Structure 1
Amino acid sequence: MELAQFLVLKQQYKPNKTEVLFIADGMPVNERYFYLKNSNIYRAVKTAYSQVFGEFKTDDEFLEFFKEMGCYFDSLTNEPIKHMPPAEQRKARQQGVESLAHRIAEMQPRLIIISLKVIEKFAREAINLSGVDMVEHIAVTPFPVKSMVNVNNCINGVVAALRTVEWDV
């Protein structure tokens, strides 16, 4: 799948009003992606939402609910960076701050969940630069890879963050 196809797919799931913004690192370098319903972060977020809102019969039902609730999954950079050396990753993340700040300013989310601790500094810089003052809570979770501890900490972090917001469900 080409990067442009990932960006089109992401836009299809963008809600009219963003209540919850998930910020990940960069776009995928392979065929694993949140909106393709086949990535670790997708499974962890779906599990967390199931714990808070109840079970979903299908992946499509979950993604529809996710969008209807005003939830959106974005990334710090609109390019794949996982394959880059660490110094280039940091540079790409820094270059993504201003663009992310503009998107945050447009979306005006109430809750922001940063889905990778290493990007927290950059994401917070973008949040501050956005000038958005209606964010009720910012949470940072580990990315759900490498160990079940990370997976469970991600799920528990998303659950805790979701419970900080009043929902009209």
Structure 2
Amino acid sequence: MTINIFKEMTEALNQTQQQYQPKSTKILFVEEAVNLKTFFLPQKLQCFRAIKEAFSQVFGEFKDHEDFLQFFKASGCYVEYLCQDLINRLKLPMRQKVRTESI
């Protein structure tokens, strides 16, 4: 049952990622892995907040998160996960192993 939930969540994430994937990627940002706490809330990701803040300083403020995401996509930027599995609850040695194997 739990595996099915994670599989469904991963499939939903892939659909969401595809929505914001540009036709041609010019700049690729890599996030460690999918995280349950921020699964459908990219604005909660530390990486997202840092990138949005940097873009805001250069290009001006965005109306909302969706406005930023559309600009991000139109600029040819994309965020990919190094690990497609949920690893944030693994112990550090196993987490490092999974990250290394994902490269």
TM-score, normalised with respect to structure 2: 0.82
Indicate if the aligned counterparts of 1:9 and 1:35 stay in contact, CA closer than 8 A: no
1:46 aligned to 2:52?
Answer: yes
Aligned length: 96
Partner of 2:19: 12
- Deviation of 1:35 (Å): 5.9
Partner of 2:91: 85
Partner of 1:67: 73
For structure 1, the 5+ residue unaligned runs are 98-169
Alignment of 1:90-129 (within 5 A): 90-97=96-103
Letter in 1 for 2:44: N
Higher relative contact order (CA 8 A, sep 6+): 2
| Structure 1 runs, 4 residues or longer, greater than 3 Å off | 33-36
Higher helix share: 2
Instruction: Please give the alpha-carbon distance, in whole angstroms, between the structure 2 residues aligned to 1:34 and 1:23.
Output: 17
Indicate if the aligned counterparts of 1:10 and 1:35 stay in contact, CA closer than 8 A: no
TM-score, normalised with respect to structure 1: 0.52
- Deviation of 1:24 (Å): 1.1
